[in-house]
Amino acid sequence: MGNTTDFSGTPLEKLAGDGMFRHFRPLYKGTLIANVNMDRGRGNRLIAEGLADLVAFGRAYIANPDLVQRFAENAPLAEVDWETVYASGPRGYSDYPTYQPSQDNRGSWLFPCLSLRPSRNYQPHADWRNHEPHWKHHLHYRRRIGCIGRALAEELHKRGNRVIISGRRKSHLDAVAKANPGIEAIELDIADPDTIKAVAKKLIAEHPDLNVLINNAGIMEPDQAAGVIDDRLLVSTVTTNLLGPIRLTSALVDHLKSRRGVILYNTSVLAFVPLAVTAVYSATKAALHSYVLSQRFLLRDSGVRVLEVAPPWVRTELMNSQEAEQAMRLDRFIAETLDVLGTDANEILVEAAKPLRANPGPEEHALVNGFNQQMLKLFGPSQA
């Protein structure tokens, strides 16, 4: 249903535009199919608002036999050649070309500590391990040259993706870009709301095909939950680990909706089994996990996937873990993570992370206490 007549100045004027659907939806409980002057955005909105159950596309299908693929990739639509409509012969029916984007018109990913973007061939459940695309990688790190974000960015770059890193320190960004020819960099302070808004606006303008955001920013410092918490540590950890990812995602979420994109957060198994000597860090990761669950629910019908990577203990510069035998090797973690990203999973868990992820429940204190007793032996009693 849809109006093809101009109702202006008539008693039916209220039925113009979406008024037709708003009027009949409460009256008709069957399957309501919307048509007439439909495009991808309007159709998705009518379904999201509950004003229609299905959407029919007529003219768009004539000129775009690959309409479903074009909608999935948010590709431009071909125009109808009206001189050939209702004519005899195949011209205007079977000779419209399928979409062939240029090599420079591919999708993108953004990373805070990591942000990415896949090729135009990206599909929500596609194999992320061997993408051809540009990747846009926002790498925000703090004295963490061996961080997960950089390792993932470099691996994706090696696999033929274009990567853009970002962070506060230009010297660090330049060093990474120099070590990986082809990686680009953009400065961003994840703790500054105004900078986040400005960088998001710049990214959307310069990379309109951006369709994946990976939030990987994070700092981890020992604290004293049994005593007086250093306020500088508290504010900087919460701002970087929790507020920064939420703010950046908020600045880009509407754009990602238009791209049917992906938002990925890097949390931690410490969201489920907190490390007592880094109580604030663990709390920020638990809070971010909770936010992920809410956002995934609210975006469930938007076409945007919300994913979460929860790493176990990995050999990085966090807590000086580069040589920790009990920690997972960084290269192995990256390889396993990319394997899981090639599945339909919403939580990206390597095998070493699964026992801790499964811990929350009525008896969770036993593992939390045992885990922290073991970690105190590793870090030393001075951390207690």
**187/56 same-domain check:** no
Residue 264 CB partners (closer than 8 Å, separation 6+): 116, 212, 213, 214, 215, 306, 307, 308, 309, 348
**348/247 same-domain check:** yes
**135/184 same-domain check:** yes
Q: What's residue 159's pLDDT?
A: 76
Q: Quick one: 245 exposed, middle or buried, by C-beta within 10 A (0-12, 13-18, 19+)? A: buried
Within a domain: 236? yes
Bigger pLDDT: 48 or 93?
48
Predicted model pTM: 0.65
**68/112 same-domain check:** no
| 8 Å CB contact between 259 and 210 | yes
CATH (domain of 158): 3.40.50.720
Q: What's residue 253's pLDDT?
A: 96
DSSP letter (8 states) at residue 126: S
Within a domain: 91? no
Answer yes or no: is pLDDT of 21 > 60: yes
- Measured in whole angstroms, the distance separating CA 131 from the mean position of its chain's CA atoms is 16
**122/204 same-domain check:** yes
Name the average pLDDT for the chain: 80
Q: What's residue 380's pLDDT?
A: 67
| 8 Å CB contact between 221 and 168 | no
**66/121 same-domain check:** no
- Rounded CA-CA distance 324/124 in Å is 36
Answer yes or no: is pLDDT of 139 > 60: no
- Rounded CA-CA distance 242/266 in Å is 11
Least confident interval from 28-42, 83-97, 146-160: 83-97
**66/141 same-domain check:** no
Q: What's residue 276's pLDDT?
A: 95
Cα Rg of the chain (Å, integer): 25
**39/179 same-domain check:** no
Of the candidates 76, 303, 109, 106, the residue with the CA atom closest to the CA atom of residue 203: 109
Least confident interval from 195-209, 278-292, 317-331: 317-331
Within a domain: 283? yes
Within a domain: 313? yes
Would you place residue 1 in the very low, low, confident or very high pLDDT band (cuts 50, 70, 90)?
low
Answer yes or no: is pLDDT of 225 > 70: yes
196-214: average pLDDT: 87
Within a domain: 45? yes
**200/67 same-domain check:** no
137-166: average pLDDT: 65
**21/167 same-domain check:** no
Answer yes or no: is pLDDT of 114 > 70: no
| 8 Å CB contact between 137 and 163 | yes
- Provide the domain count of the chain: 2
Within a domain: 328? yes
Would you place residue 64 in the very low, low, confident or very high pLDDT band (cuts 50, 70, 90)?
confident
Whether the CA torsion 158, 159, 162, 167 is positive or negative: it is negative
Residue 22 in tokens: 């708003």
Question: Is 281 known to be catalytic?
Answer: yes
- Rounded CA-CA distance 46/61 in Å is 19
**46/112 same-domain check:** no
Structure confidence by residue, pLDDT tens digits, 250-293: 999 999 999 888 899 999 999 999 999 999 999 999 999 999 99
Of the candidates 237, 113, 265, 118, the residue with the CA atom closest to the CA atom of residue 176: 113
Least confident interval from 26-40, 136-150, 305-319: 136-150
The residue type of 165 is I
Within a domain: 94? no
Answer yes or no: is pLDDT of 20 > 90: no
Answer yes or no: is pLDDT of 125 > 50: no
Bigger pLDDT: 13 or 23?
23
Q: What's residue 132's pLDDT?
A: 32
Residue 194 CB partners (closer than 8 Å, separation 6+): none
Beta-bridge partners for 113: 215
Least confident interval from 89-93, 104-108, 178-182: 104-108
Q: What's residue 111's pLDDT?
A: 55
DSSP-based three-state secondary structure for 136: coil
- Rounded CA-CA distance 183/174 in Å is 10
Within a domain: 239? yes
Bigger pLDDT: 304 or 137?
304
Answer yes or no: is pLDDT of 310 > 80: yes
| Chain position carrying tokens 């120099």 | 178
**361/306 same-domain check:** yes
Would you place residue 4 in the very low, low, confident or very high pLDDT band (cuts 50, 70, 90)?
low
Q: Which member of 96, 141, 281, 291 is catalytic?
A: 281
Residue ranges making up the domain that contains 32: 13-84
153-176: average pLDDT: 81
Answer yes or no: is pLDDT of 93 > 90: no
